[in-house]
Amino acid sequence: MSKKLISQIALFFSLLFLSHCSNYETSNNSDSVHEMQQFVSNIAHYTRQSNPNFIVIPQNGAELAFTDADSELGFYDDYLTNIDGFGIEELYYNGTFSPDFERISMLKELSKTKKVLVSEYINSNSLLNEARQANSDEGFVSFIRTPLNYDYKEIPSTIQEENSNDITQLSDVKNYLYLISTENYSSKEAFISAISETNYDLILIDLFFDSEIFSSQEINQLKTKKNGGKRLAICYVSIGSAEKYRYYWDSSWKLKQPNWLAKPYEGYPDEFWVNYWDKDWQAIIFGNDSSYFKKILSAGFDGAYLDNVEAYYFLYHD
């Protein structure tokens, strides 16, 4: 897929859709949008008290960059000021070529000041170069996964734009590894060793191996590429859903008990969408010495990748 053709297609659909709201934007509750924007901003403020350079990347949160999550209303500057980039899933490919033209248009504008990391899903290896090129043409950094790696459990054998540069900020990143499942590794040591043998500029992993938190020494070890260059270690964390397998989960909890466990997460039986503005949920996530983000900071991660920020939409839609 050539850059010229992609640009022509994107331009056509951008003009066609520009006067309409995206699926995430329609009929959402503006208060819930503001609450998520503020939640993300407050997490950024909290983490940067300990590490002024802490990186914050919301996943699938591009719409939140705009007032009321509506691109027609202009940028929401407070949110944009407090984040460093955007993570997006299935932008051009969801199995086959299935571009989300409105988000492409948004992200082209947002990428002028923020890094865009895209995780594509292809159902055939023959689409690998096309998927990479589609993102590269717009300046987006891509991670391409195949059916065997749908759940982010494998390290791809090739790296796009591999380099030995020292990566000290998100804007320097040319490639990244998204590896949040540990099921292919028999031990934490095997997991660390496998990543240490790579030259990715940024690694995106979970705070835990099974139920064991990575130590600061282990995370520091992962911050060096095999070729000696420095890289960033970013921690995955869901802030819009509660997960039954996390340390904070109480076995007595169930839907609506506590009342911030708001809605089942379709397709994920071990998760619930949460009322993320609730003070008890937020206390689990950040702001105190027993919080999730305190653990992330103590482990020495360079930043966090905030999943399920689109809870503002899914709480109110099927």
Query: b/e string for 217-234 if b means 16 or more Cβ within 10 A?
Result: ebbeebbebeeebebbbb
The 10s digit of each residue's pLDDT in 100-114 is 999 999 999 999 999
What local confidence, expressed as pLDDT, does residue 20 receive?
37
Question: Which percentage of the chain shows pLDDT scores above 70?
Answer: 91
| pLDDT above 80 (res 4) | no
pLDDT value of position 317: 86
- Tell me if residue 89 falls in helix, strand or coil: strand
Look at residue 13 and tell me whether its pLDDT is greater than 50: no
279 pLDDT more than 90: yes
Q: Report the mean per-residue pLDDT for the chain.
A: 92
Q: Is 70 exceeded by the pLDDT of residue 9?
A: no
d(Cα 267, Cα 244) in Å, to the nearest integer?
14
Phi first, then psi, for residue 87 (nearest 5°) are -105, 135
What confidence category does residue 318 fall into, taking pLDDT thresholds of 50, 70 and 90? confident
pLDDT at 17 (0 to 100): 39
pLDDT of residue 54: 98
* Confidence check: pLDDT of 1 > 60: no
Residue 307 to residues 54, 104, 190, 239, 245, Cα–Cα distance (Å): 17, 19, 26, 6, 16
User: Which has the closest alpha carbon to 128: 111, 110, 102, 149?
Assistant: 149
Distant-in-sequence, close-in-space partners of 262: CB < 8 Å, separation ≥ 6:
256, 272, 273, 274, 275, 315
pLDDT value at residue 26: 37
pLDDT in tens, 217-236: 999 999 999 999 999 999 99
Confidence of residue 29 (pLDDT cuts 50, 70, 90): confident
- Assess whether pLDDT exceeds 50 at residue 12: no
Domains and CATH numbers, the chain: 3-314 (3.20.20)
Residue 239: what pLDDT?
Answer: 98
Q: In the structure encoding, which two tokens stand for residue 90, read together? A: 């299935």
CB 264 within 8 A of CB 16: no
Reduce the DSSP state of residue 245 to 3 states and report it.
coil
Angle at which helix 30-50 crosses helix 292-299, to 10 degrees, equals: 40
Find the mean pLDDT for residues 69-93: 96
CA 202, CA 133: separation in Å to the nearest integer? 19
Q: Using the predicted structure, report yes or no on whether residue 23 has a pLDDT greater than 60.
A: no
Give the integer Cα–Cα distance in Å for 233 and 236: 10
Q: Are strands 241-243 and 271-274 parallel, antiparallel or unpaired?
A: antiparallel
pLDDT at residue 40 is higher than 50:
yes
Taking residues 15-41, report their average pLDDT.
Answer: 66
- E strand map for the chain: 55-58, 85-97, 115-122, 141-145, 176-178, 202-206, 208-209, 212-213, 232-238, 241-243, 261-264, 271-274, 303-307
pLDDT more than 90, % of the chain: 88
Residue 312 parent element (H or E): helix 311-314
Section 157-171 average pLDDT: 96
Residue 25 pLDDT > 60: no
In this prediction, residue 277 carries a pLDDT of 98
Q: Is the pLDDT of residue 94 over 60?
A: yes
Q: Report residue 282 CA to chain centroid gap.
A: 19
